[in-house]
């Protein structure tokens, strides 16, 4: 956390970048499991893991950080998408903004792709699902 109360992340590429589809293929996934990943892991490995999770009915949570474009089909396998306003802007190809109305508009555009989206903003959080939304300071 920075002095301005903003999330501060240090990324040092390493072992996570070397995880492969074969590495995650042996992970047992049960229907009540929650499978969590982020973009320090190869998207091909995430896709493989999330696809297996979807087949058994497990929930998936993805934080697309460090921010980057999604490979085809990955976003549709995400049950809960957790991202900040920078990642939201990149994913939705909209301008980076602190305006809550614009953040909501961009986040709503993801609702047809991902079941739920949680956006972390330095001033407020936004939680959107297919059926309702809420923001909190």
Category of 46 on φ-ψ map: left (φ > 0), alpha (ψ -120 to 50) or beta: alpha
Residues 51/27, Cβ–Cβ less than 8 Å: no
Nearest one of 50, 47, 22, 38 to 84, comparing CA atoms: 38
The answer to which of 39-43, 48-52, 74-78 has the lowest mean pLDDT is 74-78
Q: Structure tokens of 8?
A: 């501060």
- Which residue ranges form the domains of the chain, and what is each CATH number? 15-136 (3.40.1190.20)
Query: What is the reported pTM?
Result: 0.73
pLDDT tens-digit readout, 99-121: 878 877 877 777 655 555 555 54
In the predicted structure, residue 87 carries a pLDDT above the cut 70: yes
Q: What is the average pLDDT score of the chain?
A: 78
pLDDT of residue 50: 95
Classify 136 as helix, strand or coil.
strand
The answer to which of 48-52, 57-61, 104-108, 125-129 has the lowest mean pLDDT is 125-129
pLDDT of residue 16: 81
Distance, in Å, from the CA atom of 120 to the CA atom of 126, rounded to the nearest integer, reads 7
In the predicted structure, residue 137 carries a pLDDT above the cut 60: no
In the predicted structure, residue 47 carries a pLDDT above the cut 80: yes
The DSSP string of 40-101 is: TS-HHHHHHHHHHHHHHT-EEEEE--S--PPPTTSGGG-SEEEEEHHHHHHHHT------HH
């Amino acid at each position: 956390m920075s002095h301005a109360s903003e999330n501060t992340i240090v990324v040092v590429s390493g072992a996570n970048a070397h995880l492969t589809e074969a590495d995650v293929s042996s992970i047992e996934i049960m229907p009540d499991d929650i499978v969590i990943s982020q973009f320090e892991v190869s998207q091909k490995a995430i896709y493989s893991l999330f696809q297996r999770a979807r087949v058994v009915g497990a929930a998936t949570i993805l934080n697309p950080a460090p921010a980057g474009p999604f490979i085809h089909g990955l976003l549709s396998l995400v049950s809960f998408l957790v991202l900040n306003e920078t990642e939201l802007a990149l994913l939705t190809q909209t301008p980076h903004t602190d305006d809550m109305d614009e953040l909501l508009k961009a986040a709503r555009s993801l609702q047809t792709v991902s079941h739920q989206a949680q956006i972390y903003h330095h001033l407020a959080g936004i939680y959107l699902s297919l059926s309702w939304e809420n923001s909190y300071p």
